[in-house]
A and B are shown apart, each in its own frame.
Chain A
Amino acid sequence: MNIPNINLIHAYRIAPWRIQRQWIGNALLLVVILAMVAALYLNVTSRTAIAGREIQDLMNAIAISQQASSDLQTQLASLTSSVAFETRARELGFRPIQPEDLEYLIVPGYVAPQPLNLSSNTAPQLSALTIPPEYNQSLLDWLDERISSRRIQ
């Protein structure tokens, strides 16, 4: 019954490099795992950084667009201001209407213009303070949070 054990010990004695190879194999496995974790971390970090950059760019683009929109709106208002309109109308040969020029017609179903309504059909802008931690938390932050929460428990 003891013969197989004797044989195994004998085999290691005549080939001690097998134990070394086993150690090397384990070490290499650890290195590979660490390399994979590092690569994953690098990947996540780089993607987060790119997303951060894109957010900054988009915010700048939004700000520039809003400024351009305000500029154009103000320019349009200047071009259609009361004084500008009256000047252009006079240049084109128009004159202010007089009461005697008016002729009123009864139009069935006519609805007088209503004052301005600037209500928007689109939903109000949702708060952007809802970026989940997955998008701005590093792996180390996540580990730190986990360890801290364990400690608290």
Chain B
Amino acid sequence: MRSQYARRVQVLAGAMLLIALGIVVQLTRIQNSPEAAVFRQQAENYAYEWKTFYPNRGEIYDRNGRLLAGQKTVYEIGVDLNTVTDPHAIAFAVSRELGLNYDNLMNVIQNPPEGISYLVLADFVDAQKALNLQELKRALQEQAGTSGLGGLTGLQFKAHPQRSYPENALASNILGFVNREGKGYFGIEENYDNLLAGNPVTVLIPTDPNKAYEIPRVPDGTTMILTINRDLQAAAEDILDNALLEYGAQDGTIVIMNPQNGELLAMAVSRRMDLNNFWNYGTVYNNATEFNPVISKTYEPGSVLKILTMAAALDTNTVTPNTTYLDTGSVLIGGVTIQNWDRNPWGIQNMIGCLQHSLNVCMVNLSTQMGATNFYNYMDAFGLGHLTGVDLAGESAGRLKVPGDADWYPVDLGTNSFGQGVAVTPIQMMAAVSAVANDGRMVTPHVLYAMVRDGRQYDVPAQFSGSPISTQTADTLTEMLAVSLESESSLALVPGYRVAGKTGTAQIPVNGFYDGTQTNASFIGWGPVDDPQFMIYVWLERPTTSPWGSETAAPVFSEMAQKTVILLDIPPDFIRQQIASQ
């Protein structure tokens, strides 16, 4: 009996062993079959995917921490075609909330492109509208209960950031804008696009959510702090808008810079756009130079350039402030007669009178006395015809014709000396004249105060682009310009503060001839004279109430300067002298 039992057990064990062996053999066979290799390859294809992590674009602040460009959340709204239960409900809800065409939505949901399972219905949807749709979806799901599916099942929402400009049109010419593809255009956004955008990181991650994967470190784009003072920028834009109305000017700019370090404090232009609606660019501007004429638009500056001619004449010892000459009202150069602005002789004048009355004849005498080589060497050293290096996209270099150029004529030596026949940008004039205000050292204008990355702030040091004139020349000329303003009781004077500056009235060439009725009125000035903390340039294009810079741009300078000293906390001269004497 026992032996029979033992045999049965042995047979059973043997059978089970055979079955187990069969299973192992079959497993091994399946694992190594050609089909298994195909499945393994398919699994590997879907086991991992490349994913790109985009950093948040860096923010832009003004010098006092006011946000000028940040991010806001918008939504991509799409449908998961595999889970859609009611296309009509989705098309109706989306069309009603987002104002899209119902028939188009229905058509695209019911006839999607082949091979896709997710369809984008709308992107960059405002957060509030997306929230309304989300709430509707939730309500319909609750209505359907736990067993059923809501009418908006399959509607999906993906949040992502979008550039936002809280100040809307303020400083739009400085900031530039970012399109929906994340590319910066104009201004800071274009010039520092790579730094602001940061570096996207692409990594291979497992599709199995149960697998831990390495978290890529995606540092945000660099945050920028500008030299711009938001309140001063707002005031400059306000004053400019009023000036355009008051003087009937076509366009205009006001630029404020610290002449000691080149920090641009404000840069107002007349044409501005709401950066949150950047797609209106084409309706606001006719061409790219209109976006920021301060750096892009060249023009003949007129008499403000006399500052540079006088600086060259003083620096070459051609004249001193007390040098006199007999003004006959006209002078012949290169076969062309040059006249004063009023076509009248001014008799015996010294160099202060020359500046005070803005005499063209005087300037022609100076340029011819110092010679073309000297004159153009100085103009070149002042940066005319060269980029200033301002850190904004789209700067123009202007044009300074020099002897040897095909289109240079001897008369140009005379006309260039008082600002005709030479093309500059306002920022070039600021940079050039900064040498006079800053003891002979010319600054490089810039709008970037500091960069912040990984929690560390890197301040941008002031840069200087040469010393075209000596300190003594700069101080002498500043004094001459201050005295000339005071002597003529200029409308540019600022009560309580001593300022230096010069008006400019330049005729505009139309079809090769100067139009006597259309002018560029300008004024460049700085103060306080003993410690310059602001330099202001005002340019009004084609003012209609008066063609003269002394009657249009000069009072705008004064108004702007009075606002500037308040906003920058610059006490009047006598208060500063009291502080200095203590």
- Show the binding face of A for B, using Cβ within 8 Å: 48-49, 51-53, 55-56, 59, 64, 66-68, 70-71, 73-78, 80-83, 86, 97, 99, 102, 104, 106, 112-113, 115-125, 127-129, 131, 135-136
A135 to chain B, nearest CB (A): 6
A98 to chain B, nearest CB (A): 8
From the candidates B59, B63, B166, name the one contacting A78 in the complex (CB within 8 A).
B166
Is B72 a contact of A74 with CB atoms below 8 Å?
A: yes
> Which residues from 162 to 177 on chain B have a C-beta closer than 8 Å to any C-beta of chain A?
164, 166-168, 170
Cβ contact within 8 Å between B64 and A119 = no
Q: A52-B210, A78-B166, A82-B170 in contact; A125/B231 too (CB < 8 A)?
A: no
Chain B, interface residues (CB within 8 Å), range: 35 or more
C-alpha gap A113/B63 in the complex (Å): 11
Q: Would you list 29 pairs from A and B whose C-beta atoms are within 8 A, ordered by A residue?
A: A49-B211, A52-B212, A52-B213, A59-B215, A64-B159, A67-B161, A70-B73, A71-B71, A71-B73, A74-B67, A74-B72, A81-B167, A82-B230, A99-B496, A115-B64, A115-B225, A116-B62, A116-B450, A117-B450, A118-B452, A119-B456, A124-B455, A125-B219, A125-B454, A128-B217, A131-B214, A131-B215, A135-B212, A136-B211
Q: In the assembled complex, which residues on chain B have CB atoms less than 8 Å from the CB atom of A116?
A: 61-65, 225, 449-450
Determine if B234 is an interface residue (Cβ-Cβ < 8 Å).
yes
B212 to A136, Cβ gap below 8 A? yes
Contact partner, B452, options A48, A112, A119, Cβ 8 Å = A119
Q: Are A119 and B457 in contact, CB atoms less than 8 angstroms apart?
A: yes
Known: A73-B67, A104-B572, A125-B454. 16 other contacts (CB 8 A): A55-B213, A59-B215, A70-B161, A74-B71, A76-B67, A80-B66, A106-B575, A115-B225, A116-B64, A116-B450, A117-B450, A118-B450, A128-B215, A128-B217, A129-B215, A136-B211
| CB–CB B56/A106 < 8 A | no
List A contacts of B562 (CB < 8 A): 99
Bound-complex Cα distance A125 to B220 (A): 11
B42-66 Cβ-contact flags toward A at 8 Å (1 or 0): 0000000000000010010111111
Q: Specify which of A74, A78, A122 lies most central, judged by the most chain B CB atoms within 10 Å of its CB.
A: A74
The 8 closest A-B pairs by CB, nearest first: A120-B455, A77-B166, A52-B212, A77-B67, A49-B210, A128-B215, A70-B71, A124-B454
CB <8 Å contact, A77 and B66:
yes
Q: Is the CB of B216 within 8 A of A74?
A: no
Chain B residues near A48: list those with CB within 8 A: 210-212
Q: Closest residue of chain B to A68, judged by CB?
A: B73
Asked if residues A66 and B495 are in contact (CB atoms below 8 Å), the reply is no
Number of A-B residue pairs at CB separation under 8 A: 139
Question: Which residues of B does A touch, CB under 8 Å?
Answer: 56, 59, 61-67, 70-73, 127, 159, 161, 164, 166-168, 170, 209-217, 219, 223, 225, 230-231, 233-234, 449-450, 452, 454-457, 495-496, 562, 565-566, 569, 571-572, 575, 578-579, 582
Residue picked from B215, B450, B452, B565, most chain A C-beta under 10 Å: B215
Q: Which residues of A contact B72 (CB under 8 A)?
A: 70-71, 74-75
The residue in chain A whose Cβ has the minimal distance to the Cβ of B72 is A74
Q: How far is the CA of A128 from the CA of B579 in the complex (A)?
A: 55
B569 and A112 form a contact (CB under 8 A) = yes
User: Are the CB atoms of B209 and A56 closer together than 8 Å?
Assistant: yes
Assess A119 versus B455: contact at CB under 8 Å? Given A74-B164, A104-B571.
yes
Bound complex: CA A80 to CA B214 (Å):
40
- Closest B residue to A100 by beta carbon equals B495
Tell me the nearest residue of chain A to B565, going by C-beta.
A99
A79 — nearest CB in chain B belongs to which residue? B166
Inter-chain CA distance A51–B213, complex, in Å, is 10
In the bound assembly, the distance between CA atoms of A131 and B206 in angstroms comes to 15
Residues of A within 8 A of B234 (CB): 82-83, 86
Contact yes or no, A55 B215, CB < 8 A: yes
Q: Are B231 and A82 in contact (CB under 8 A)?
A: yes
A128 touches B216 (CB 8 A): yes
Given A74-B164, A102-B566, A115-B449, decide whether A131 and B67 contact each other with a Cβ distance below 8 A. Answer: no
CA gap between A55 and B210 in the complex, in Å = 10
Residues of chain B with a CB closer than 8 A to A131's CB: 212, 214-215
List chain A residues, Cβ under 8 A from B452.
118-119
A120 / chain B contacts, CB cutoff of 8 Å = 455-456
